[in-house]
Amino acid sequence: MIEDILTQIGSTTIVIAIAAYVAKTWVKHQMEKISTQNSHELARQIAKLNVHEPYLHKRRVEVIEAIYAKTLDAEFSLQNFLVTWWGHSNREELTARAFPEGKVFSNNRGLEFCEAFTEINAMLHKNALYFDDQFIEGVLNVYKPFFDEILNMDETNPPPFPNEYIDIIEIGQKPRQSVISLFRRALGVEGEA
């Protein structure tokens, strides 16, 4: 009887060992199969990125270079407009030479700024495929307050020059400096601020 029990235990152990070996081999085979499929998919995605990313980066660089050139135009026009607006608001304090009698306020520099902003807006929207909406809105929102103020200004009766704009150079440079950070992040030159 003990011999029968030992024989039964021995044969059960052998059957379990064989089943475990077969299960282990099957699982190993399935894992290798999945790994091979994943490595092929990963290789395909890497190849796709190697083609698309350099092209997208090149296009972004080209677009950002063009927009940056236009931001310089916008900056100079904005600074010149702010100087004109400040001069008009302070004409009583200025000498007759600096602000001659009868000279009226001109919004031309402000309109040049608005034109530059409109061109920046158009460039961004024409190239929206290369940038996310957050980038586009970030650039536009930097310039929009000045654009709205200039566009809605009554040229025949401009409001007094705001005290927050008294540092004309800094205020004129601020929009361009803000978009430089956005440009750098879009190009991967600088991390999140």
Cβ within 8 Å of residue 123, ≥6 positions away: 63, 66, 67, 70
SS3 123: helix
Higher pLDDT, residue 15 or 123:
123
Is residue 90 assigned to a domain?
A: yes
pLDDT band at 193 (very low <50, low <70, confident <90, very high): very low
> 13-22, 163-172, 178-187 — which is least confidently predicted?
13-22
Q: What is the percent of the chain where pLDDT is above 90? A: 36
Tokens of 72: 């310089």
Is residue 158 assigned to a domain?
A: yes
pLDDT tens string 65-111: 999 999 999 999 999 999 888 888 887 777 655 656 666 678 888 99
Tokens of 89: 């608001």
Tokens of 145: 């307050």
Is residue 117 assigned to a domain?
A: yes
The number of domains in the chain is 1
Closest CA to 138 of 124, 151, 126: 124
Are the beta carbons of 172 and 82 closer than 8 angstroms?
A: yes
pTM for this predicted structure: 0.67
CB atoms within 10 A of CB 87: 16
Domain span holding position 114: 58-187
